[in-house]
Structure 1
């Protein structure tokens, strides 16, 4: 099996751990994953040192504060127009501290990802994280992957570059599988069980979902996330993406990856072995735990996040997934089996449909229905066709345009 992420395989990066703190590059530093990663770093200065940061450029004050607090060498911003404001913010906050080098433009994060360090945390949102992912792998870094889209849309490209064990996943579901896989050999794995909170609409029929409003869908019962990922959780598109990601990370066939609804979000996923034993990873919902595991692997970071409180009574529930009400997971399986640019089409069309739903142009059930139409029109990729980054970008552009047409029609 060509397992990109496996706890029993130790990848040796091009830059070995120094005697002092491990050197890191954080991509997407001003987002949710990035800010929580910085919290882990600041509480463990003996373990980690950040040498580079990247961000889109919309929160220059925060980016400047992060850069100076961490003492990074380089800051990358995707928006070149943000550079003057970033320089001004750095100068205003410097107080005698050295100013970092600034990289700017759409390729800035990709350039930063290839710079010297031990590990690159890719916390960028969206498929724009693909090129930085490939750059980090090509440079021989450990890739701490929170940007699921780069793996999903560029699966064959990532698999062609990544060496076994080079990727450590950060999604709570995939870090759970990663840890549970340590309990047996690959030949002993029967299935992967990915848990889903069920979002705010667990138990509703498809007919009841038709009248869901954006405000309803944005009220996630467990996690505080951005609007796109919150809607994806409500439609279970996010769980479909995670099924594709699990297949690519662990090289397990789609028919051996199961989704189960677990409203408490304490058991983050499980691995069932051939003897009937199931190993689960459990912890309260807190992304600092999987982030710290990714940054510190193969060692854990003490007190990264609170553990379960076993002095209090608790009930953990598990329910089968209602595929009729929530067809996104089965659609994702189909897309994953198609391969090629189909996952890129699925992901891009969904983003456009979510935007249309939030603007009132599509009903809630219309999100996945429209994505399915776009995927069907895209068709099956030609057998033996090799995938390029340009192929992915072209497919995404077509899918976005077609999804907008269907949503407007």
Structure 2
């Protein structure tokens, strides 16, 4: 592919990404993969160059562009080497006109009013691993180019392009892919061997496995979620990691407490990594900013509130409820924790001790700019005895 043809390919992919964001369709990564699956003539260098153009255009556009070309033209306005590709050559994009639409610059939708500016969301996210303490220590892992993460004691940061699932350390369960921020908020849960712990919104089980390692695979650990497909991924991951204490419970949407009735007021620790806006992960999924609306934010905030109230009923007197969101917005983080404490007299927020992060209401917020991690909020809420 010529450089001009790569630019045109990026525009075509961006058109699909824009449409998918508007219509709740596939993620950008999926669209890129599908595009090249039917274009075998594109070599690895072509695919890499096109992908870089696509994501560069996405990252600089805060609001949903009208077209993929509008996103790419805006990028061309800032980068002369991109502008040169709009020369009207065969298979390349037509020349740029002064009047044509351009995507507005920004790290977030304009309706958020700059609340996410200067938090590092425009940067690319690193690839982090968690060394599985059940099978290894960080100093035992020797992967070319890997360096210890700055804050998480079991974290390793890999150079770009490493195929993790091809590593022998992954195959035998010594490592898991997990952002350093996710590792840190898991540590904030202070899970201990012998505990009864519930990962209330376990998803595919990334934090479940981290909790199991902290518990030294001793005690009782329940992984629950309303999404059967996501939860089903945990079993093979747990087997590979050598985790034997994880039990899976499928939640019934709207009646989450019913599936865990036998744990009412019995758990030492309940972790609620609630569904959220995902603003903390926008470095990894930058087109997700085009999908967030005020209405969607309102819905997830209401869901988080309900899940916390249900989960609170599972915590034994003196036990801990941990509220986690991969969000940088206060209504999902500090505001949500404060609202919970107001609804539940007697509960208190225990200080969160982490090697990085800023105090935010009753908890701690991690940001890409300050901590070099995905964005997270974590608060530990203690039930009265």
TM over 0.5, yes or no? no
More helix by share: 1
- Higher relative CO (Cα under 8 Å, sequence separation at least 6) belongs to 1
TM-score by length of 1: 0.29
Mark the structure with the bigger radius of gyration: 2
TM-score by length of 2: 0.30
